[in-house]
Amino acid sequence: MATKEDIIMTANSVFESYDTDNSGFIDRSEMKTVVTTLFKKINDKTICTDTRLNKLFTNIDKNSDNKLGKKEFRELVALFLDPTQPEPEAW
């Protein structure tokens, strides 16, 4: 199981890689790239539809500002890295 430090380090690294406009946030377009890349890396045949992406984004975007800050993004990464977490409803 990933430690809290592992999750923070991984989330920050992924965040910096995909925040392509350097806004300090992950927007929906950048999020689509993140999720699509993750599906490819785990060799999942599931397609990330816009509907699924929007549902996931809305569930993670706690303050409803249409962008994910680092804290919100870390929560998403924690879901992927911690196998004890239930699968997100958005999937």
The per-residue pLDDT for range 28-84, each reduced to its tens digit, is 999 989 888 876 766 666 667 888 888 889 989 999 999 999 999 988 888 777 666
Tokens of 57: 């984004």
73 burial (CB, 10 Å; 0-12 / 13-18 / 19+) is buried
At residue 65, the pLDDT reads 96
Instruction: Indicate the residue type of 11.
Output: A
Tokens of 1: 């199981």
Q: Is 26 helix (H, G, I), strand (E, B) or coil?
A: strand
The contacts of residue 72 (CB under 8 Å, 6+ apart) are 60, 61, 62, 63
| C-beta separation of 57 from 31 below 8 A | yes
